[in-house]
Chains A and B, each alone.
Chain A
Amino acid sequence: MINHRLLAITACLLFSTSALAQDLTGTLKKIKDTNTISLGHRESSIPFSYYNDQQQVIGYSQELMMKVVAAVKKDLKLPKLQVTMTPVTSQNRISLVQNGTVDIACGSATNNLERQKQVAFSDTIFVIGTRLLTKKDSGIKDFADLAGKNVVTTAGTTSERLLRKLNEDKKMGMNIISAKDHGEAFLTLETGRAVAFMMDDALLAGQRANAKHPKDWIIVGKPMSNEAYGCMMRKDDPEFKALVDKTFAKVMKSGEAAKIYKKWFMSPVPPKGMNLDFPMSDDMKAAFKNPNDQAFP
């Protein structure tokens, strides 16, 4: 009898562990096997993903990404899961996700159709409009006022593409400067090399909060486009994507995401304790109500 019971238990255990191992594929299997998850973050995408004074990564997207880490720990039963952080840029993030350097990258990446050919996007975590940051007394009110002027944007962004297209289509004669990252783009604006900085409005609010004199700068112009941000993961990995989307849907519907939003966009944030004062848009409210991974047209 005892022998039989032991056998049964052993068989049960063997069966269940092998079943678990078989169930896991792709990223989740990699995480389980290595007991490590690799996160991709940004360095100056305020307030989405950036360094604080202690060189720790903080921000709205970072906080959501940590929710994913918590869910992975729970689902895979890996309480001691190691987390490695890799800084990514607009230019290398797709390659780093594809080649496995990072498993998931939550920053300020726009979900669009070209990118969907190479990587998968999570449910939308943020919706932005592309607008202009300029000096209060510059006289710039909208995109039409930029004709013949120097305008800066960040290389590798959808804003860069829209701005170049606008310049060609309307023959505006703008000189477009493509800066390496948002911090450098703002430096270009601040030192007077450009009269305006075109970028996602939420990031512009972040750069303004970080300026020497935040009150000197305003965000103007009718949004040239609206875009959905999502976290990037490897393509054709439905299991990991399902876990990420499930996690986001939960925090969005429970109201937790709204609290995280309030913390980063309606309250003082590091490094200078400035309030971005950036109320939630209707598009974002809709995204929170109906979590989805659709790119904006």
Chain B
Amino acid sequence: MNYHWDWAIFLAETPSGSTTYLGWLMSGLEVTLALSLSAWVIALIVGLFMGVFRTVPNRWLSGMATVYVEVFRNTPLLVQLFIWYFVLPELVPASIGDAYKAINPFLQQFLAAMLCLALFTGARVCEQVRSGINSLSVGQKNAGLALGFTLPQTYRYVILPIAIRIILPPLTSEFLNIFKNSAVASTIGLLELAAQGRQLVDYTAQPYESFIAVTVLFMLINTVVMILMHRVEARVRVPGHSGGGQ
């Protein structure tokens, strides 16, 4: 295959002149990080509450959480994104939809992508939390209640501290996934890392260099996340508990 390799392309100035192509990749990296981290925070909060709701003895709460999980876990991420971005603004009353569509397009894309990623990942976090809670023996909960704790207190002081330690490893992989999944935002025009890589291809006609650079940057993000999460796991380890080691 006769391909014209040119790695120096990253240092070349873009046609608009204000930055280099590497600068574009870096601004894409910033958007990817901001999008994934903000979505992850929301996903953790939503997932934690929904996961707890799925295990409580209240039909309404557990029913609501089940519906949430089934809807968000069983539909493709891309479809969800298009619904948030394209469909929802047309379904709500015209005044709200028009007001939303009048704000800065970057913000519109960012908000839609953040909400979409957060709720999709939240459903997965929710299932991790539920399985963590269910993996504990029922004696833990009974002991908490017998000591005079209310149910919320039992969750807060007895069940969750152990359940969350147990699910830290699978949570790490959800955390890694959210960065990778964030690339779907490029389909609605958000200039995150994957989109900047694609834009580089359009402007320079050097697809291999661009895609290799994007791949390396994603791997770099995820290596950092893995190292961080291993540290967190080591920090919070409780000797004598499952997953706790020494």
Contact = CB atoms under 8 A, between A and B. Distances in A.
A61 B189 CA distance: 27
Given A114-B203, A156-B202, A193-B101, A164 B187 contact: no
A234 B203 CA distance: 19
B30 interface: no
Interface in B194-246: 195, 198-199, 201-208
Nearest to A185: B189
B1 interface: yes
B1 A100 contact: yes
A117 B187 contact: no
B15 interface: yes
Contact of B205 (A94, A178, A180, A234): A94
A180 B2 CA distance: 28
A99 interface: yes
Nearest to A158: B202
Contacts of A73: none
B89 interface: yes
A90 B106 contact: no
Contacts, number: 77
Contacts of A178: 189, 191, 195, 199
A213 B108 CA distance: 26
Given A118-B4, A191-B86, A236-B2, A175 B105 contact: yes
Contacts of A156: 198-199, 201-202
Contacts of B109: 177
B29 to A, nearest CB: 18
A253 interface: no
A91 B205 CA distance: 10
B104 interface: yes
A187 interface: yes
Contact of B201 (A94, A164, A165): A94
B18 interface: yes
B205 A161 contact: no
B151 to A, nearest CB: 47
Interface in A162-182: 164-165, 168-169, 175-180
A176 B106 CA distance: 9
A95 B101 CA distance: 35
Given A168-B17, A179-B189, A191 B205 contact: no
A185 B18 CA distance: 26
A192 B202 contact: no
Nearest to B106: A175
B105 A193 contact: yes
Contacts of B188: 180
Contacts of B98: 192
A275 interface: no
A263 B142 CA distance: 79
Nearest to A99: B1
A234 B90 CA distance: 44
A178 B187 CA distance: 9
Interface string B1-29: 11110000000000111100000000000
Given A168-B16, A177-B189, A180-B187, A91 B101 contact: no
B201 A91 contact: yes
A296 B13 CA distance: 22
A185 to B, nearest CB: 9
Nearest to A90: B202
A117 B191 contact: no
Interface string B112-148: 0000000000000000000000000000000000000
Contacts of A118: 3-4, 205-206
A165 B205 contact: no
B204 to A, nearest CB: 7
Nearest to B82: A184
Nearest to B98: A192
Given A155-B198, A193-B108, A95 B207 contact: yes
B192 to A, nearest CB: 12
A98 B189 CA distance: 26
B205 A114 contact: yes
A160 B202 contact: yes
Contacts of B106: 175
Interface string B92-112: 000000100100111011000
A235 interface: yes
Given A156-B201, A180-B188, 4 more contacts: A98-B1, A156-B199, A168-B17, A179-B189
6 contacts: A94-B201, A156-B198, A156-B199, A178-B199, A191-B86, A234-B2
Q: 4 shortest A-B CB distances, which residue pairs?
A: A156-B202, A168-B16, A114-B205, A95-B207
Interface of B: 1-4, 15-18, 86, 89-90, 98, 101, 104-106, 108-109, 187-189, 191, 195, 198-199, 201-208
Interface of A: 90-91, 94-95, 98-100, 114-115, 117-118, 150, 155-157, 160-161, 164-165, 168-169, 175-180, 187, 191-194, 234-236
